[in-house]
Amino acid sequence: MTDQARTLIEAARDAAKNAYAPYSNFAVGAAVLLGDGTVVTGANFENASYGLSLCAETVALATVNAQGRFRDVVAIGVIGGRIGHADTAPVSPCGRCRQIINEAAQLGGCDLPVYCGGATGDRIATYKLSELLPHAFGPADLGLVDR
């Protein structure tokens, strides 16, 4: 595991401790690395309506945007696991989050590395966003950025 991956996975695990996940009992944490080394985290945020729930990656990236840094994302770490279990299998972003990560990737002009881990353990799966979301539709298709 690289230092960058380890830092983001550990930060994501810390964030997952604050997950609001009383319905799924599945805690997810995300950590977004910015160009200056800042790490912004998020945790899943469920809702009694279920459909209004927010994923950890979405919470973290919306926070990055609120700080005016959405074009400055360089890597993302995501972890997840059942609350109260020591799950080690890497968890990868859902389809919606892959699309949201793609927004940051295209705006920043970078095929972002996405580090995926479990709630515990050293198993880390490393992907480029283009592997998780090939042939992505995004801001470049709408002329917001160059391809």
For binding to Zn ion (CB under 5 A), which residues are involved? Answer: 55, 94, 97
Q: Which residue is nearest to Zn ion (CB)?
A: 55
Smallest gap, in angstroms, from Cβ of residue 3 to Zn ion? 26
Catalytic residue among 46, 57, 103, 131: 57
State yes or no: is 57 an active-site residue.
yes
Tell me how far, at minimum, the Cβ of 59 lies from Zn ion, in Å.
10
Which CB, 11 or 97, lies closer to Zn ion? Answer: 97
CB nearer Zn ion, residue 96 or residue 109: 96
Tell the residue number behind the tokens 């966003």, with chain if given: 129
**Which residues on neighbouring strands pair with residue 132, listed in sequence order?**
none
Q: Which residues contact 14 (CB under 8 A, 6 or more apart)?
A: 29, 41
The CA-based dihedral angle spanning residues 49, 15, 111, 147, taken in that order and rounded to the nearest 10 degrees: 50
Instruction: Report the amino acid identity of residue 95.
Output: G
Catalytic sites, residue numbers: 57
